[in-house]
Amino acid sequence: MTKQRITLERTYQTSLANLWQLWTTKEGVESWWGPDGFRVEVVRIDVRVGGELAYQMIADAPEMVAFMKANNMPPAQDAHLRYTEVSRHERLAYLHAADFIPNVPAYDVATTVEFRAAGDTVHLALTFDPMHDDLWSQRQKQGWESELGKLGKVLAAQGTAR
C-alpha cells in the first residue's frame, strides 16, 4: 500500500521572480530554509536537472539541540538533494536524501514545488512523499509548515508580503 503524498499550499504577496530567487540561490535558501530552531548554511547549489543543493542543517535553539542529542543525532548535519526537474518560475522537483535517521536505512523523499503567479501574488504548492513512518511524516509536515512560515516572514520583512 502506497502512502498518500502530502501537499501544503500558501499564497504570498510577492513577485514570481522574487519567490523563485528565495528557492534557488544560496542567499535565498539560507534566509528561510530549516524549521524554527534550525538554520542552514549552503555549501553548494546548482539548480539544474541533475544538480545538487548541499547544505548543513544546524540546530541553533537550545531545545532543538537537546532534541537532536536525545535522538542520537548530531546538532549539525550534512544534507543534500538532487534536482530532477527545473522549469524556471514554474516548478522544481527534487529527491531529498533522508540519510540522517538513526537505525533507518537511507532513502529519498520526492518533493515538488509549483509556483503560480496571479496578479501581485504567487501561489505555492509543495508536495512531498511521506517518510518511513507516521511519526517522522508528522515531523516532516510540521517542519515544512514552519519553513513556509519562515519564508512568509522573510517576504514580509522585504515589504512584499502581507
- CATH number of the domain enclosing 26: 3.30.530.20
For cell 535522538, what's the residue? 71
Expressed as residue numbers, the domain containing 14 is 6-34+83-158
Work out the pLDDT band at 111, boundaries 50, 70, 90: very high
Q: Does some domain include residue 48?
A: no
Q: Where does residue 101 rank: exposed (0-12), middle (13-18), buried (19+ CB within 10 A)?
A: middle
Q: Does some domain include residue 47?
A: no
46 phi and psi angles, rounded to 5 deg? -140, 90
DSSP line for 55-109: EEEEE-SHHHHHHHHHTT--SEEEEEEEEEEEETTTEEEEEEEE--STTS--EEE
Contact 160, 15 (CB under 8 A): yes
Cα–Cα distance for residue pair 84/90, rounded to 1 Å: 14
53 phi and psi angles, rounded to 5 deg? -110, 115
Q: Does some domain include residue 107?
A: yes
- Tally of domains within the chain: 1
What does the pLDDT read at residue 1?
46
Q: pLDDT exceeding 90 applies to what percent of the chain?
A: 90
Q: Does some domain include residue 138?
A: yes
Q: Does some domain include residue 72?
A: no
70-100 pLDDT per residue, tens: 988 899 999 999 999 999 999 999 999 999 8
What does the pLDDT read at residue 29?
98
